Structure formats: C-alpha cells, structure tokens
Structure 1
Amino acid sequence: METLNFKTNIKCSNCVATVTPYLNDIEQVDGWNVNTDSPDKLLTVQTTDNRIADVVKQAVEKAGYKAELVNA
C-alpha cells in the first residue's frame, strides 16, 4: 500500500463532505483522510497505485478545492 499526501485548501467538515463523493469514486483509493487541524490541511490517500496523484488532484479540483502533491 502506498500513501500520497496533498497540501489542500479543504478547511472544515463541510468541505470534507463536499470532496467525499469525488474521492470515493476513484477506484484505486483504498482510504483517505483530511487533517483540517494541520496548517497544510493535509489530505492523505492510501492506494495500491501511486500513479493516481493527478487523478486525486483532479477530483479535488472538481469539488472546487486545490490539492498539491507533497513529499511527507
């Protein structure tokens, strides 16, 4: 299992609810979490395919937010 981390502008539980259907629709995502208490609003994605970073970024952007892959 691989872990991808993204710096986002997802700020609250309502924001998380907004991106949920978009992230849940990505077949290769085994789980994900947004730490809204973190200064970087870190989105952590567990996947079996670490090549999906662009797919995750596009899904977050479709929900109206930004995501930038970070090395963590």
Structure 2
Amino acid sequence: MKTYQFHTNINCGNCIAKVTPALNEEFDILEWSVDTDNPKKVLTVKGEDELTEAQVMAAVEKVGFKIEKAG
C-alpha cells in the first residue's frame, strides 16, 4: 500500500462533500482524509501500489481544488 500527502485548499465540510465523489471513483484509492484543522489542509491518501500522485492530483483538480505534493 502507498500513502501520499498533499497540501490543498479543501477547507470545510462542503468542500469535502464536493471532492468525495472524485476521490471515491478512483479504484486504486482505498481510503483518504483531509485534516481541515491543519493550516495546510493536508489530504492523506492510502491506496494500491498502482496509485500515483498524478491520479490523486488530477481527481482533486478536476473538481476545482488546488493541490500540491506535501514536503
């Protein structure tokens, strides 16, 4: 399993609701969460070994949010 972390502008429950379908439709993503209390709004994604950062970033950007690799 791979784990990625990203900084985003997903900052509230409505934002999470908007991005949920996009992340849930990615078959290689097993679980994900957004720490909206963190100033950098950290998105943590766990997925199959085939999952790439580009897949996650494309899914989030598709629904209009900013995302960049953490670290």
Within 5 Å, give how 1:5-44 maps onto structure 2. 5-44=5-44
> Structure 2 CA distance, aligned partners of 1:38 and 1:50?
28
Does the residue aligned with 1:65 lie in a helix, a strand or coil? coil
TM-superposed CA distance for 1:17, in Å, is: 0.3
| Separation in 2, partners of 1:22, 1:49 | 19
Q: What's the CA shift string for 1:17-62, capped at 9, x where partnerless?
A: 0000000010100000000000110000001226511111011011
Q: TM-score, normalising length from structure 1?
A: 0.91
Q: Runs of 5+ in structure 2 lacking a partner?
A: none
Aligned residues: 71
Identical aligned residues as a percent: 46
Q: Which aligned runs of 4 or more in structure 1 are off by greater than 4 angstroms?
A: none
Paired with 2:50 and 2:24, the residues of 1 have a C-alpha distance of 16
Structure 1 spans left out of the alignment, 5+ residues: none
Counterpart for residue 54 of structure 1:
54
RMSD: 1.2
